[in-house]
Chains A and B, each alone.
Chain A
Amino acid sequence: MALKDSIAWYHFAAPKNFYPLAGKMIPWFWGLTIVLLLVGLYLSFFVAPTDYKQGESYRIIFIHVPAAWMSMLIYLVMATYAIIGLAWKVRLADMMASALAPTGAMFTFLALWTGAFWGKPTWGTYWVWDARLTSELILLFLYIGFISLQSAIDDPRRAAKASSLLAIVGVINLPIIYFSVQWWNTLHQGASVSPTMAPKMATIMLTAMLIMTVAFWMYTIAIVLMRVRRIILERERQTTWVMELLGDETVGEKDGRK
Chain B
Amino acid sequence: MSDGVLTSGVQGGLFAAWRAMLVRDLTLAMRRRADVLTSLFVFIIVVSLFPLGVSPEMSVLRGIAPGVIWVAALLATMLSLGRMFADDHQDGSLEQMLLLPHPLSMLVLGKVLAHWLVSGLPLVLLSPLLGMQLGMEGEAIGLLMVTLLLGTPVLSLIGATGAALTLGVRGGGVLVSLLVLPLYIPVLIIGTGAVDAGISGMDYEGHLSLLGAFLVIALLTTPLATAAALRISVE
Which A residues are closer than 8 A to B by beta carbons? 138, 141-142, 144-145, 148-149, 152-154, 158, 161-162, 165-166, 168-170, 172-173, 176-177, 180-181, 183-184, 187
Contacts and interface: CB of A to CB of B under 8 A. Distances in A.
A166 B233 CA distance: 13
A141 B189 contact: no
A91 B24 CA distance: 39
Given A145-B178, A149-B179, A153-B169, 10 more contacts: A149-B175, A152-B169, A152-B175, A153-B170, A154-B170, A158-B232, A170-B183, A176-B186, A181-B189, A187-B196
B201 interface: no
B183 A169 contact: yes
A183 B197 CA distance: 13
A169 B165 CA distance: 11
A135 to B, nearest CB: 9
Contacts of A180: 185-186, 189-190
B179 A145 contact: yes
A184 B169 contact: no
A158 B170 CA distance: 13
A152 B232 CA distance: 14
Interface in B167-217: 169-172, 175, 178-179, 181-183, 185-186, 189-190, 193, 196-197, 214
B182 A162 contact: no
Nearest to B234: A158
Given A165-B228, A165-B229, A149 B166 contact: yes
Interface of B: 161, 165-166, 169-172, 175, 178-179, 181-183, 185-186, 189-190, 193, 196-197, 214, 221, 225, 228-229, 232-233, 235
Contacts of B196: 187
Contacts of A187: 193, 196-197
Nearest to B221: A172
Contacts of A183: 189-190, 193
Contact of B178 (A144, A165, A170, A173): A144
29 contacts: A138-B182, A141-B178, A141-B181, A142-B182, A149-B165, A152-B172, A152-B175, A153-B170, A154-B170, A158-B232, A158-B233, A161-B232, A162-B165, A162-B229, A165-B228, A165-B232, A166-B165, A168-B225, A170-B182, A170-B183, A173-B182, A180-B186, A180-B189, A180-B190, A181-B189, A183-B189, A183-B190, A184-B189, A187-B193
A166 B232 CA distance: 12
B109 to A, nearest CB: 17
A184 B183 CA distance: 15
Given A149-B166, A172-B221, A177 B185 contact: yes
Contacts of A165: 165, 225, 228-229, 232
Given A165-B229, A183-B189, A145 B161 contact: no
A144 B196 CA distance: 31
A132 B183 CA distance: 17
Nearest to B196: A187
A138 B172 CA distance: 21
Contacts of A181: 185, 189
Nearest to A175: B186
Contacts of A138: 182, 185
B235 A158 contact: yes
A177 B183 CA distance: 8
Contacts of A184: 189, 193
A195 B150 CA distance: 34
Contacts of B172: 152
Nearest to B172: A152
Contacts of B161: 169
Contact of A169 (B171, B189, B225, B232): B225
Given A152-B169, A152-B172, A166 B179 contact: yes
